[in-house]
């Protein structure tokens, strides 16, 4: 689990990322992970993954602005973002 930065503004990013990741899990579960035969679910997952990557990117920038020395947390956020970039490349392209 990611150790999120403890700042007031960070709560919004954390909630958005957790919500989006849960929506991806729910959509994949409902589609039984068969994205090739379920184009509606695939489109939804594509949008959710793009939004998730975007939220991670915004959170990383925010984290650097408020504390550029929280390297452990920034590294974890970058790792989380990279997971979705890699997952998208493997599963959606």
Residue 5 domain-assigned (yes or no):
no
**C-alpha dist (Å) from residue 82 to 1, 36, 56, 75:** 15, 23, 9, 10
In a domain, 14, yes or no: yes
- What CA–CA distance (Å, rounded) separates 67 from 86? 27
Tell me if 17 is assigned to some domain.
yes
Going by the DSSP 8-state scheme, the letter that residue 67 receives in this structure is: -
Helix (H) / strand (E) element for 21: namely helix 10-30
- Domain assignment present for residue 2? The answer is no
- Is residue 61 one of the residues assigned to a domain? yes
Query: By residue range, what is the domain housing residue 40?
Result: 10-91
User: What pLDDT band is residue 6 in, cutting at 50, 70 and 90?
Assistant: low
Q: What is the mean pLDDT of residues 85-89?
A: 97
Within a domain: residue 82? yes
Express each pLDDT in 15-35 by its tens digit: 999 999 999 999 999 887 677
Cα 18–chain centre separation: 8
Q: What is the mean pLDDT of residues 45-69?
A: 94
State the total domains in the chain: 1
Residue 86 forms part of a structural domain? yes
Domain assignment present for 1 = no
């Amino acid at each position: 689990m990611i150790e999120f930065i403890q700042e007031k503004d960070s709560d919004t990013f954390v909630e958005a990322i957790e919500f989006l990741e849960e929506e991806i899990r729910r959509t994949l579960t409902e589609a039984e992970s068969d994205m090739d035969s379920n184009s509606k679910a695939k489109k939804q997952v594509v949008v959710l993954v793009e939004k998730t990557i975007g939220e991670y990117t915004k959170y990383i920038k925010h984290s650097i602005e408020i504390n550029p020395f929280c390297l452990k947390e920034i590294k974890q956020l970058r790792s989380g973002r990279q997971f979705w970039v890699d997952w998208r490349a493997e599963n959606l392209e």
